[in-house]
Structure 1
Amino acid sequence: MNYYIIYDGNCNLCVTLVQLLETLDKGKLFHYAPMQDEQTLLQWGITAEDCEQGVILIDGNEPQRRWQGSNAAEEMGRLLPAGNIFVDTYRALPGMKWVGDRFYEQIRDHRYALFGKRSNTYESSYCTDGSCNR
């Protein structure tokens, strides 16, 4: 199984989280493309407006299956070894999903002010097919 993560390659927080996933997964499950890679966005039918709603996770086996924003973050966590235990616990706590969604929206909308903006777009070495500009 392969999943594709479309992330903001100019966001310090987003890049740090991608780098953490790269370390944990080593490209076995996840491949990455920055939202700034217009060619890859076109390939997946993703618009700039879509990107404004946050990180996107695409199921490589069924590309019509997609998660976005906090739902994508939860699904990524669930897919990691033993991650489903934490995600299931989080989802089972009354009100946590609502709080998590609002928290995600605040971070998404203020990410550059809170965590800074990179001067160069980060491109993962575990890129999506054809998206590496190396």
Structure 2
Amino acid sequence: MTPLLVFDGNCGFCTRTLGWLRLLDRHRQIETVPLQRAGAAERVGASPEECASSVRWRGADGTRAGGAEAIAHALSVALDAAWPVPFYRRTARWQERLYQLVADNRYRLPGITPWCVRYPGDCQ
């Protein structure tokens, strides 16, 4: 199973951040899908509302996560390094608070043209 990250395709900040992740993922191990694509939420075992509130992850081993934990898993795969997940676990409360602050304000943060504007055929 290919690791999968579902992100908000209407968010310019999210699209910019996805670009950084793709630069780190040199071996193209992670599939990235906008939550606006039909069936995206179901593929990560989440509701559309959960996907709208935070990025969602489904790992190759079936691991599911959201928010800062999802980012830690994605970084671990992209960097081919184990440390992001244990680091997340030691600092989870702090990371989740910071993630929520960013998520709550993501449409106000600087970004680029949102994925769904660039690739409207990829979104519903």
Name the TM-score class by shorter chain.
0.7 to 0.9
Residues 85 and 27 of structure 1, relative CA distance in 2, 3 Å threshold: closer
- The DSSP-based 3-state class of the residue aligned with 1:5 is strand
CA distance in 1 between partners of 2:77 and 2:89 (Å): 15
TM-score if structure 1 supplies the norm length? 0.70
**Higher alpha-carbon Rg:** 1
Q: Distance in 1 between matches of 2:85 and 2:43?
A: 30
Which amino acid in structure 2 is aligned with residue 9 of structure 1? G
For each residue in 1:18-73, what CA deviation from the matched residue of structure 2 results, as whole angstroms up to 9, or x when unmatched?
A: 112222324631001101112333555542211133000112453xx311111101
Indicate which of 97, 109, 132 corresponds to 2:92.
97
What is the CA–CA distance in structure 2 between the aligned matches of 1:52 and 1:40, rounded to whole Å?
11
Runs of 5+ consecutive residues of structure 2 not aligned to the other structure: none
Residue aligned with 2:57, SS: strand
What is the one-letter code of the residue matched to 1:78? S
- In structure 2, the CA distance between the partners of 1:111 and 1:73, relative to structure 1 (3 Å rule), is same
- Does the Cα contact within 8 Å between 2:6 and 2:44 map onto a contact in 1? no
Alpha-carbon distance in structure 2 between the residues aligned to 1:51 and 1:39: 11
1:10 aligns with 2:5: no
Contact kept, 8 Å, 2:57 with 2:70, in 1: the verdict is yes
Provide the identity percentage: 23
The CA RMSD measured in Å over matched residues stands at 3.1
Equivalent residue in structure 2 for 1:113, among 108, 111, 123: 108
Change (3 A) 1:90 1:66: closer
Compute the displacement of 1:117 (Å).
Answer: 7.9
Counterpart residue identity of residue 103, structure 1: L
- 1:120 deviation in Å? 5.6
Q: Which amino acid aligns with 1:37?
A: R
1:76 is aligned, of 70, 74, 88, to 74
Alignment partners' CA distance in 2, 1:83 and 1:101? 21
TM-score by length of 2: 0.75
The more displaced of 101-110 and 71-80 is: 71-80
